[in-house]
Amino acid sequence: MSSRREEILKELGLWPVWRLRTAAASPAEPAAPPQPPAAARVAQSAPAPVKPAGARAPVEPAPALPLDARAAEIMRMDWPQLKASVAGCTACPLHQGRNKTVFGVGDEQAEWLFVGEGPGADEDAKGEPFVGQAGKLLDNMLAAIGLKRGENVYIGNMVKCRPPGNRNPEPLEVSQCEPYLHRQIALIKPRLIVALGKVAAVNLLRREATIASLRGKVLEYQGIPLIITYHPAYLLRSLPDKAKAWEDLCFAAETMKNLQSAQAAPI
């Protein structure tokens, strides 16, 4: 093991306990069939419309779109439209307390997509995901498997505005915000998604489950392999589970290798 890697593992409090898994990645487990929209998935006010450069602000606010129509509109957006729409979004009450929206960061053609829950205070101040203590741990976790923020890696969240007091986002907040993440995923087309924590996991899978029951499997989000692990903020409070997170990361790295070689293999 290189000394850099050893240093990272020591930093994570994982040396010399963590071991690389060598078993082959499990076959993909299909996600549960899409479920009907939850009661909370109701129409709210539409996000601020995307203004063409130089256009004057509309006098009347845009009429609220039903959620499905709004989601369909978001699914047609390109990156600049999507960023502008998130920046001006007022679709749920979280916009009232935010300083900055936190769109997501990284390589827009990344093979790796990491999805967290929602911004905390540091992220709300900076407008970038995972820049606080949990972010430092995430960066170390990435480094431990040879990855770096922004280099073939994209990092996003289920919701783009900070829930007050760092509470979990409410179902209505997630339902209003998730079309943005779905569009980001459609544009990035990652080879593998890693969900960080339960909020991202259950919302991407569209079913309730514990992290413990979802770990160690290749699940699926709309045909894209999906692996679940603990949220870095949880790991900061629960040192014993860092070892499990390391297993999950090694499993994800191995799954990525398999996915890359499956694509490279001649037909």
Find the shortest distance in angstroms from Cβ 263 to ligand URA: 30
User: Is residue 123 involved in binding ligand URA (CB under 6 A)?
Assistant: yes
Strands (E), the chain: 105-106, 112-116, 153-157, 192-196, 219-221, 224-229
What is the C-alpha separation between 239 and 136, in angstroms, rounded?
Answer: 15
Eight-class DSSP state of 267: -
What is the C-alpha separation between 240 and 226, in angstroms, rounded?
Answer: 24
Please say which residue, 45 or 166, places its beta carbon nearer to ligand URA.
166
User: Is residue 179 involved in binding ligand URA (CB under 6 A)?
Assistant: no
Q: Give the SS3 label for residue 136.
A: helix
Find the shortest distance in angstroms from Cβ 202 to ligand URA: 14
Find the shortest distance in angstroms from Cβ 103 to ligand URA: 11
Q: Which residue is nearest to ligand URA (CB)?
A: 116
The residue whose two tokens read 């943005």 is 180
The residue whose two tokens read 């009661």 is 39
Residue of 143, 266, 142, 118 whose CA lies nearest to 194: 142
116, 179, 190, 225: residue in contact with ligand URA (rule CB under 6 A): 116
82, 142, 211, 233: residue in contact with ligand URA (rule CB under 6 A): 233
Other beta carbons within 10 angstroms of residue 97's beta carbon come to 12
What is the C-alpha separation between 66 and 123, in angstroms, rounded?
Answer: 30
Please say which residue, 47 or 129, places its beta carbon nearer to ligand URA.
129
| 133-155 per-residue burial string, b: 16 or more CB within 10 A, e: under 16 | ebbebbbbbbbbbebebeeebbb
Find the shortest distance in angstroms from Cβ 102 to ligand URA: 6
User: Is residue 235 involved in binding ligand URA (CB under 6 A)?
Assistant: no
CB contact at 8 A, 161 and 101: yes
User: Is residue 120 involved in binding ligand URA (CB under 6 A)?
Assistant: yes
CB contact at 8 A, 135 and 157: no
Q: In terms of residues, how long is the chain? A: 267
106, 129, 169, 179: residue in contact with ligand URA (rule CB under 6 A): 129
Find the shortest distance in angstroms from Cβ 6 to ligand URA: 27
Rule CB under 6 A: which of 31-90 touch ligand URA? none
User: Is residue 104 involved in binding ligand URA (CB under 6 A)?
Assistant: no
44, 85, 101, 157: residue in contact with ligand URA (rule CB under 6 A): 157
Please say which residue, 58 or 164, places its beta carbon nearer to ligand URA.
164
Find all residues with CB under 8 Å of 125, minimum gap 6, and list them: 99, 100
Considering only the stretches 25-33, 60-68, 76-84, 116-124, report the one whose residues sit in contact with ligand URA under the rule CB under 6 A: 116-124
Please give the residue ranges that form the binding site for ligand URA (CB under 6 A).
102, 116-120, 123, 129-130, 134, 157, 233
